[in-house]
Amino acid sequence: MDAVIQLTRMKQIIVVCLIIVITQGAFAQKQLVLLKREKVVLRLYPGDEITFKLKTSNTKVTSYVNNLYDTAVVTHRDTIPFHKIDRIYFKQTKFYNVVGGLLVVGGAGLFLIDQFNQIVVQGESPSLDDNVTTLSLSAVAVGLPMMLIKKKSQRLGYKYRLLTAKKGSLFYQPELTNYMTPFGQ
């Protein structure tokens, strides 16, 4: 009986050691970082999808990051030096996109609240108030283009450059999705 308990404890210790080794390896992954001067604009991990255009070509290439070197990225089939990449395509959200979304929601919400007040609270038939309608339509008309206009790519050059960030680098950030939570929550 004592030998069975010791064997079970040994198995538990081995499993815990394996988990520690695996998670330490996952936290020490290199990262491909797009910098604007000293600010991180985009962070890609091995396994993430990358879309780019080379300086010698006019076509976009979509692949995944397989591995990272100091001056190159290994995609599915090629090793591409950073200096040969002309553009990187990714979704960018700016402050004016958020403000535009708030204007659209606020304008539509103002109109709906006015109609709710008119119909339910006051018990009258639906009607349009000129001031509310003008303000609502203006907010939606200004906010919609602000919300929808988004930059889809970034050209690499003087301000924007690629860097491989390793553990210990100022630009390195551990991947938050790798952290284990109790009961898989």
Distance of CA 125 to the CA centre of its chain: 46
| Tokens matching residue 124 | 């009258």
The full set of domain ranges for the chain reads 2-90+152-179, 95-148
List, for residues 47-103, the tens digit of each pLDDT value. Answer: 899 999 999 999 999 999 999 999 999 998 889 999 999 999 998 888 999 999 999
List, for residues 6-28, the tens digit of each pLDDT value. Answer: 667 766 666 654 555 454 444 45
